[in-house]
Amino acid sequence: MARVLSILLASFLVLAGCAEQGPSGRVGADGMPLPKPYKIRTSDTSKIQYRVLDSVNALRTAAGAAPVQLNSQLTAAAATHSRDMSVQQRPWHFGSDGSSPIDRVQRAGYGGTMLGENISETFETEMQTLAAWMDKPGTRQVIMDPKATNMGFSWYQERTGKIWWTLLMGG
């Protein structure tokens, strides 16, 4: 029974991430309503991080993997990389100083092993981004890694609304 409930919760969370944001009242050149911009306020930080953590853990539990904990060092490394990707204006796993994800995690003081990093450049919400990561085998594998015990998650949002997301898994 608990497994069925976990699967239903995980399915609901993935579907919720796919929900449309609704029209903004403005119409585009094609006559269709423009999407409402997703603006993250500073006060939303912990809500977003724990919403993603809860969703990741629901997905992991449904698949038989142990839950992970939010880790401050991994989150600091994720925040640094999200801002750096914005400066570079490209989503990739290397920092402007040539650093790798492993380098950034070590600099942030994480004592465990960095298992994987997911990144995204988008205007989408955290739930839409998580759903997109779960749809691709490589990024899904990072989230579902059975050796993972810790997660870091952060972002940087530009004035235009573009968001640079970074998720790190460690063990």
Question: What percentage of the chain carries pLDDT values higher than 70?
Answer: 83
Q: 69-70 and 150-157 as β-strands: parallel, antiparallel, unpaired?
A: parallel
**What is the per-residue pLDDT across 81-125, written as a single tens digit (0 to 9) for each?**
999 999 998 898 999 899 999 999 999 999 999 999 999 999 899
Delineate the domains of the chain, giving CATH numbers in brackets: 68-151 (3.40.33.10)
Alpha carbon dihedral 62, 63, 67, 73, in 10-degree steps, equals -130
Tell whether the model's pLDDT for residue 19 goes beyond 60: no
